[in-house]
Amino acid sequence: MKTIDVCLSPDLIHLHDISDKNVVVVDILRATSCMVSGLANGVKSITPFASLDLCCAMKEKGYLIAGERGGQKVEGFDLGNSPFDYMNAKVKGHKIAVTTTNGTVAIDKSKGAVSVVIGAFLNLSAVASYLRKREESVLIFCAGWKGKVNLEDSLFAGALVEELQNDFTNECDSPLLVQAAYQNMKHDLVGFIKNSSHAKRLNRLNVHEDIEFCMKQDEYDVLPVLNGDELVTDQA
């Protein structure tokens, strides 16, 4: 039987062997929600960078450069880290290089897995259906916040565990934990998330619309997968 496990923070990833697993990276607010939105809206590819300097250097190679530090668009960058930036007609057909505080770091740490896919509430069913078809076990990798556990990524993990509960067995207790949290809060996900520490951080930047959008379920039937160093669309 295939197993499912959840890594609640990038600081815990060394405890997991990812070499025989499909890894789902999740950063609901907002990195992976942006990636799903961009590829669903015609962006050609998205190359994630943990380093700001390496991302910046991609401008010379013809990429649009995107991302945030402290939640705010980096000075001189073409895009910030709002899903709405990735839906702008101007980015259609372009290659984007992106760096964010947590999401792109988690993607970097996932290299070496059998496959790396990008999860968000926006593409929950597409992710679940891909994983059901694969032979390997699964690790859901929450980007968290600077090494700390966060609510929104944990709730997404719980939603995905619930979707897959008949196809996978739990490898440890974190799937049980996040599923229980999801079951407890699913009647008002937006309400609970608005109370989370990162939503409060983002509220100071006036991004209420981003938060509500990122919590929409199955807005897109698109599955971003890591191909070499870039995320491209796999038809779910």
* Among 25, 29, 160, 231, interactor with ligand 3SL by CB under 6 A: 29
Binding segment (CB under 6 A) for ligand 3SL, from list 23-31, 109-117, 131-139, 167-175: 23-31
Distance from C-alpha of 191 to C-alpha of 194, rounded to nearest angstrom: 5
* Among 48, 71, 83, 224, interactor with ligand 3SL by CB under 6 A: 71
**Residue type, position 158, single letter:** G
- Under the binding rule (CB under 6 A), the answer on residue 231 touching ligand 3SL is no
Binding segment (CB under 6 A) for ligand 3SL, from list 15-23, 83-91, 101-109, 128-136: 101-109
Give me 72's structure tokens: 């705010």
For residue 25, list its beta bridge partners: 118, 141
Binding segment (CB under 6 A) for ligand 3SL, from list 22-30, 55-63, 109-117, 189-197: 22-30
Q: Nearest approach, Cβ of 218 to ligand 3SL (angstroms)? A: 20
Q: 30: cis peptide before it, omega within 30°? A: yes
* Among 5, 68, 152, 153, interactor with ligand 3SL by CB under 6 A: 68
- Under the binding rule (CB under 6 A), the answer on residue 47 touching ligand 3SL is no
- Could you tell me the CA-to-CA distances from 211 to 14, 24, 35, 112, 222 in Å, in that order? 30, 21, 15, 31, 20
- Under the binding rule (CB under 6 A), the answer on residue 144 touching ligand 3SL is no
Q: Nearest approach, Cβ of 106 to ligand 3SL (angstroms)? A: 8
- Under the binding rule (CB under 6 A), the answer on residue 81 touching ligand 3SL is yes
Contact between residue 83 and residue 37 where contact means Cβ atoms under 8 Å apart:
yes
**Residue type, position 62, single letter:** G
166 DSSP 8-state letter: T
Nearest CB to ligand 3SL, comparing residues 27 and 78:
27
* Among 22, 47, 100, 110, interactor with ligand 3SL by CB under 6 A: 100
- Under the binding rule (CB under 6 A), the answer on residue 83 touching ligand 3SL is no
Nearest CB to ligand 3SL, comparing residues 31 and 65:
31
Contact between residue 55 and residue 101 where contact means Cβ atoms under 8 Å apart:
no
Binding segment (CB under 6 A) for ligand 3SL, from list 4-12, 24-32, 117-125, 164-172: 24-32
| Residue 176 dihedral angles phi and psi, to the nearest 5° | -60, -45
**Residue type, position 118, single letter:** I
Distance from C-alpha of 121 to C-alpha of 142, rounded to nearest angstrom: 13
Helix 151-163 × helix 124-133 angle, to 10°: 50
Q: Write out the residues near ligand 3SL by the rule CB under 6 A.
A: 27, 29-31, 68, 71, 81, 100-103, 143, 202
